[in-house]
Amino acid sequence: MKNNNDYTLEILRSNRKTLSITVTPAASVLVRAPFYMPEAKIHSFLTEKAGWIQKQLDKARAALKEQESLSPISMDEIRHLAEQALQYIPPRVNYFARLAGIEYGRITIRNQTSRWGSCSARGNLNFNCLLMLAPPDVIDYVIVHELCHRIEMNHSPRFWQEVGKILPDYKTQQKWLNEHGRILIARMRAAFRQNEK
């Protein structure tokens, strides 16, 4: 719903005890609230957090504007990236797997719009061809991340300890993906949308 603060507000009620606010990538505000919390208390909380909300909305709107101006990756470029990834990624997987003593299954390169990589219960690894547009140390981080799921199939502190054993500065690469990855993904989505027309 629209409100007086010039943003779309959605209130989700559930069997929870606290209030939380999320600013979505679509530049709307999502409030999670307990079932029986009065509307007045929710709106008072929104007023209290108005400065933070505005800052996050400004970031989300700037990101949306940036994404709208991006040119889509061509389907030919996607195919080329996939071919590059098939040549580049498997040897790096093998290198880090041997370094850490980790076994894995099949490696697949995909054109994904939501994930950089994944690891199945059987140890098969999938990687996004868009990784070829990222710096080499970021590609290594995603590879190590997925390999470490062979030890811990979660994102628990133990999982991150395993990642840190191989890449002590992994948070630097994680930050790069958080800051730049969405732009690469947006270009891929734009390519698929254009291809559907």
Structural domains of the chain, with CATH: 9-69 (no CATH), 75-196 (3.30.2010.10)
pLDDT tens profile 104-134? 999 999 887 778 999 998 999 999 999 998 9
Give dist(CA 74, CA 80) in Å, integer.
Answer: 10
Give dist(CA 123, CA 102) in Å, integer.
Answer: 10
What's the whole-model pTM score?
Answer: 0.67
Q: What single-letter DSSP state applies at residue 156?
A: S
**pLDDT at residue 129, as a whole number:** 93
| Total count of residues recorded for the chain | 197
pLDDT tens profile 132-180? 989 999 999 999 999 999 999 999 999 999 999 999 999 999 998 888 8
Residues 6+ apart with CB under 8 A from 88: 132, 139
